[in-house]
Amino acid sequence: MSERINKLAAQVYDQDIVPPLTPVEYDPLDLALPEAIRNGKRIAEFIRAQTVYLTDSNRFTGMMRFGGAGVPGDVFTRSGHTRFDEAKKHFYAWVSDPDKLQHYCENLVTFEWQHSAPDYRTILEKGLEDVFTRIAFYREKYRYDKEKAEFLEALELACKGVAAWAVKCAEVHEKAAESCADPVRKVELAALAAACRKVPMKPAESFYEGLHCILFCFYFLPDSIGTIDRYLIDLYKQDLAKGILTRDEAKELLQEFFIHISAFTPYSSSNGDRSAECHFAIGGYNEYHEDGFNELSRLIVEALMEIDTRRPSISLRWTAKTSFETLKFMMDCERNDKNKRIAFCSDEPRLKSLMENCGLPYGEAIRYTMVGCNEPAFPGMLWMGGCTSNIVRSLTNTLYNRTEEVCACETFEDFFAIYCEELKKDIDQIIRYINLFNDMRAQDNSILSCFMLEGCIESGTSATRGGCKNKVGGTNIMGQTCVIDSLSIIKQFVYDEKCTDMAHLIEVMRNNWENDEDLHNAILKDGRFFGNSDPLSDEMARRFTTELHRNLKGRRLKNGAHILIGSLTGYNPHYACYGAMTEATPDGRYRGEPYMVGTGQASGKDRKGIPALLKSVAQMDPTAICTGPVVVNLLLDEVLIRNDEYFDKVCRMIETYFKLGGIHVQLNYVSKEELLAARKAPEQYRSLKVRVSGFSASFVGLADELQDEILNRTAQKG
């Protein structure tokens, strides 16, 4: 790694390199303009007024933030989106909010964020010139539709601001080049100025221009950078063949590029040490049905691993054609990455779901990338994850509200039929809430980001109002393992082994297990819990996911998005909050106890080790409905990854898991002893990073509930 990159990486670790916001005094007469046009005009004025990033060594420019600008920013951070902020006050549960339980509607749903993947390929290949051409065409088409015409005029104004910003950056760097005495730096400044004159207005024609274009546009929608190894590979190969770029030069450019992305989130922010502020994917199937991991994919990973940044986060999209060497290379990088920026997902079940459940053709399905904590999205589209939801509520409603009916059930099938009725009611209600939350989002007419989102220009409608050509959305369910285990226990103890009857089981649970500790102990000791490759619990898992599929197949959200199920909790401990409001459950869980995070098992209930756990997880969803933001956490003894012989076996285990149908996995290697020590002396463990729920973060900076969850994961010993 070069001295220049080393210096820049060290600088952004504890400094803010983004120029401070330059305030703008807007014309009060703007209030006479329609809201959309006023916002578009002011966005452009704000962009033009900002300070150009210039140091003695930077090769990229254009850094800015919109927070506090007084104008609506991008669709991800939602700076300036007043109606979105109002909805958050009532329905979004912050970790630090002492009244957060009030934000959980009916103990069923809570408002959540959504992520996006801008359409960088189109900007790279066609430039903003194409955007202006399309806006002009559709302004004419919608000239008699006031709302659409105003939106398109506003978008054109905002894009003119982006174009003017590129010219301003070019002028600053041209002037700096003229006065620069260092001949090497003079050439760099001239090249930077030329890049600003070229992109993003015109198509990128070199690898450097491509990276510069992406980063320049990133500040207008600072979320995922998508499948960067796909849309830059041709420029990379072209420049290598021309002899105008070397592999080492490309690596250094990538490193500065990643440092700038990491620096966008202020180091002092509450999210400053978290990786999910930017997440992208490499590999996966290409249009020829071959594995798409290429030479640029490898270089991207090598470049990122050499620099000490918190972001971005990467997922390897594994395929049945991914070589073991590639998987082992990625896992080797992961085991040596102190910032824990790598996770793994599989194309096999996800593509099946995108094609069969969402009806997408293969050529569309393979375009997906990972965004945020672990959401799947498509270039130019949003992941419309409207809420997290409490899937355990349908079970407790069955047991506590329909006690007389379930006690009269003679067979498990009779009981399961009643449970399915309650599950359907809750799924219907969850979808209703997702649509309501999206309606709240739609009250803001977002302008800025829409030039990078597919469908907004063509529909003349903001992404927040459904103009984006969305493909997938859904909900993250909390407590699915609790439901699976509870169904298994009911079948085992009540109907198969007849250790108790339903009336007594419910009575004991109403008393929080206090009046029959023997039954509670027997369940915890002999219960056939999920994650042990046990036929009964695995059958319950399949029946549960099949029932989800039956209720969701063919349905869409109000905005047209297909519905998939996820299991991540994100930055906030929803699993603990829902658990705090939920009665005792048949799996032995006490009233108020948290659920488990993600898909899997914890607290020692996976008694046969991680191979059995992975086998259970891999076969639990034959319908592939649970291929939204699914998270599977593994905690391994450090000896398993430091010893090369053991490590090879771990890699083979993960490969086998994916071949059996697994969708996701992320790993931690830190010992519980070290985690407990960090809890006692947090000031000594500031740099200890862990994978949480689709993202990585400093362990000591996590909320107590999240720390508890990590400590409760069952570890695989060496």
Is the pLDDT assigned to residue 61 strictly greater than 60? yes
> Residue 16: inside a domain, yes or no?
no
pLDDT in tens, 72-98: 999 988 889 999 999 999 999 876 666
398 contacts 418 by C-beta, under 8 angstroms = yes
pTM of the model: 0.96
Is the pLDDT assigned to residue 681 strictly greater than 90? yes
Is the pLDDT assigned to residue 699 strictly greater than 80? yes
Three-class secondary structure of residue 119 per DSSP = coil
Give the pLDDT mean for 346-359.
97
557 contacts 669 by C-beta, under 8 angstroms = no
Task: Identify the residue whose tokens are 């130019």.
Answer: 380
> Residue 439: inside a domain, yes or no?
yes
pLDDT value for 640: 86
User: Strand pairing partners for 698?
Assistant: 689
Lowest mean pLDDT among 120-124, 143-147, 344-348, 384-388: 384-388
pLDDT value for 94: 76
Three-class secondary structure of residue 377 per DSSP = strand
Give DSSP secondary structure letters for 387-437: EEEETTHHHHIIIIISHHHHHT-SSHHHHHHHHHHHHHHHHHHHHHHHHHH
Domain residue limits at 526: 388-607+671-716
Confidence tier at 14 by pLDDT (50, 70, 90): confident
pLDDT in tens, 200-211: 999 999 999 999
Give the pLDDT mean for 504-520.
97
**CA-wise closest residue to 542 among 647, 436, 623:** 623
Give DSSP secondary structure letters for 233-271: HHHHHHHHHHTS--HHHHHHHHHHHHHHHHHHS-TTSTT
463 contacts 382 by C-beta, under 8 angstroms = yes
Is the model more confident about 640 or about 516? 516
Give the pLDDT mean for 316-331.
98
pLDDT value for 716: 60
Cα dihedral across residues 397, 403, 405, 410: positive or negative: positive
Cβ neighbours of 529 (radius 10 Å): 27
Average pLDDT, the chain: 95
Q: DSSP secondary-structure letter at 556? A: B
Name every residue whose Cβ is closer than 8 Å to that of residue 498 and which is 6 or more positions away in sequence.
none
Percent over 90 (pLDDT), the chain: 85
Give the pLDDT mean for 303-327.
97
Produce one character per residue of 483-501: b if its CB has 16 or more CB atoms within 10 Å, e if not: bbbbbbbbbbbbbeeeebe
Three-class secondary structure of residue 565 per DSSP = strand
> Residue 685: inside a domain, yes or no?
yes
Confidence tier at 267 by pLDDT (50, 70, 90): confident
Is the pLDDT assigned to residue 471 strictly greater than 90? no
> Residue 590: inside a domain, yes or no?
yes
> Residue 102: inside a domain, yes or no?
no
pLDDT value for 513: 98
Is the pLDDT assigned to residue 100 strictly greater than 80? no
pLDDT value for 715: 63
pLDDT value for 95: 67
pLDDT in tens, 221-245: 999 999 999 999 999 999 999 999 9
> Residue 578: inside a domain, yes or no?
yes
Give the pLDDT mean for 695-705.
90
- Which span out of 11-15, 112-116, 300-304 was modeled with the highest average pLDDT? 300-304
16 contacts 260 by C-beta, under 8 angstroms = no
pLDDT value for 717: 60
Percent over 70 (pLDDT), the chain: 99
pLDDT in tens, 413-460: 999 999 999 999 999 999 999 999 999 999 999 999 999 999 999 999
Is the pLDDT assigned to residue 616 strictly greater than 80? yes
> Residue 535: inside a domain, yes or no?
yes
Give the pLDDT mean for 11-28.
92
Count of structural domains within the chain: 1
> Residue 615: inside a domain, yes or no?
no
